[in-house]
Structure 1
Amino acid sequence: MTQTVLLALDTSTEFCSVALLSAAVDTADLARAEPRAWVRHEHTGAVSSTRLLPAIRELFDEAGLALADCNAVAFGSGPGSFTGLRTATGVAQGLAFGLDLPVVPVSTLLVCAESARRRDPAATRVLAALDARMDEIYWADYAWDDAQGEWRVVHGASLDTPERLVLPDAPFTLGGNAAAAFGARLPAAAAARTVDPEALPHALPLAYAALRAFHAGRTVPADQAAPEYVRNKVAQTTAERVAEKAAKAGQAAALANAAHDPASREGRP
């Protein structure tokens, strides 16, 4: 009998979410017992980065385990809060580098699907949809494959307005907070078999999905772990702002010169 210890982190929302799983594996027949789990899921707003490491230490202490017992580190790779995604990615990378461990990136939308199915076993087709702000939605479509014991991606993570979500071709659960955020503007809510507003990014369903990925070998080295933003840009970089400011200043100077140049006024009434 061997033991797999997996640490899962998610700071893609206003919650600091950490889970620790300890799963016993019988190497003779690969039968796996239900893992033991320890969780911290706290509303921290914009200060998840200050709470993440203390929460990790608390879970290992509570479980009677050490960081050295860990076999892999998983994190919610996005989409979600840009700052939050960078926090979880950075901490996962730092721990994995220090402990020489593989990293398991897990889509936050897949976590929504995993969450929905863990509460409702009939939720085998899940349209995960999260409020992306700026009048848009992050969404993806997943189907549970019983034969493989894993989610199949029907439509990968996308960014659209509420009206443009592509409805699944089978009865589905709508997971996530998009229905609450957009109401009647979201046709998927009325079309869904059921709506699960609690199917949100959370470290515990993330950990269960990551444990399967780890055993299947779907990991990356620490230096290859990266956020999945989906929305490429929400703000200009400093260089872009400086360039835009310089361009506007140049245009203003050109207009001012033209206004004082008699030749430029020829033909005016």
Structure 2
Amino acid sequence: MKILAIDTTSGACSAALYDQGAVCERFFRAERDHTRRLLPMVDEVLAEAGIALSQVDALAVSRGPGSFTGLRIAISFAQGLAFASDKPVIPVSSLAALAAGAVREHEHWKNAPVLAALDARMQEVYWGVYRSDVPHDSLLPEAVSSPEAVVEQLQAAGLVGSGAPLYAAGPGLHYPALGALENVETVLASDIQARDIAELAAGLWARNEAVSADQLEPIYLRNEVTWKKRERIRAR
């Protein structure tokens, strides 16, 4: 199984090649120039793995949520490669990838719930809760909420305040309401990486969750009206 994965969801850009469990990756933290950097990264990981794009079984890409511009770049790039190579695409939750990367870097987080949080701006966060034994599916529906609402839902689900461990990762945790969660180990400096998208995609491939390039759609979680309002505010 060979999967080529890309990501530009947040303030970073990465490409990875998954081949039967082995992964090679290129990662660069940059707020801009994603479109210029992606193709050389893809060329490099394919060259390192010694395969051509035609030999890849599928492409994988973060489907969101995340930066509106970053998602559009990643989706468009993945669609272009998929159309050119006639390959299917495996959409992967960016929040699930964030949680998977945090668990990969912190061995003791395994088998406990991990709150993944991205800053959605406008005093809100994108968030989901994942376990390493069910890495593809959030224990609570992925959502965009105020930090206070996140805390309320975690408490209602018994994920905080019960004495059971909960870990948290992602830049969305900078809000005071989330930073004040008791007995929760948090890591703000966590990135979404293509290597984690590729590894999650391998599991989704086994679940037959690949789609054709023309079926690939980003998941914003925010509705179109909200995004248009945000764009008008930026234009002032």
TM tier, smaller: 0.7 to 0.9
Q: 2:90 aligns with which of 79, 104, 118?
A: 104
Q: 1:159 aligns with which of 144, 151, 155?
A: 144
- CA deviation profile, 1:139-198 (whole Å, cap 9, x unmatched): 1122343xxx6444221221111111021524311121122x21x3326x5235321324
Structure 2 alignment gaps of length 5 or more: 160-164
Aligned twin of 2:128: 140
1:53 CA displacement: 1.1
Q: 1:222/1:155 Cα in 2 relative to 1: closer, same or farther (>3 Å)?
A: same
Are the aligned partners of 1:144 and 1:152 in contact in 2 as well (CA < 8 Å)? Answer: no
- CA deviation profile, 1:24-74 (whole Å, cap 9, x unmatched): xxxxxxxxxxx2211111123222011111111111112211111100100
Higher relative contact order (CA 8 A, sep 6+): 2
* TM-score for both structures, normalised by structure 1: 0.75
What secondary structure sits across from 1:201 in the alignment? coil
Are the aligned partners of 2:12 and 2:191 in contact in 1 as well (CA < 8 Å)? Answer: no
- CA deviation profile, 1:46-103 (whole Å, cap 9, x unmatched): 2201111111111111221111110010001111111110111011111112222111
Aligned residues: 220
Aligned twin of 1:10: 7
Equivalent-residue separation in structure 2 for 1:126 and 1:86 (angstroms): 27
Identity %: 36
What secondary structure sits across from 1:173 in the alignment? strand
Q: 1:71 aligns with which of 44, 57, 61?
A: 57
Question: What's the RMSD between the two structures over aligned residues?
Answer: 2.2
The answer as to 2:28 corresponding to 1:42 is yes
Equivalent-residue separation in structure 2 for 1:154 and 1:19 (angstroms): 27
Q: Partner amino acid for 1:174?
A: A
Aligned twin of 1:131: 119
Structure 1 alignment gaps of length 5 or more: 24-34, 242-269
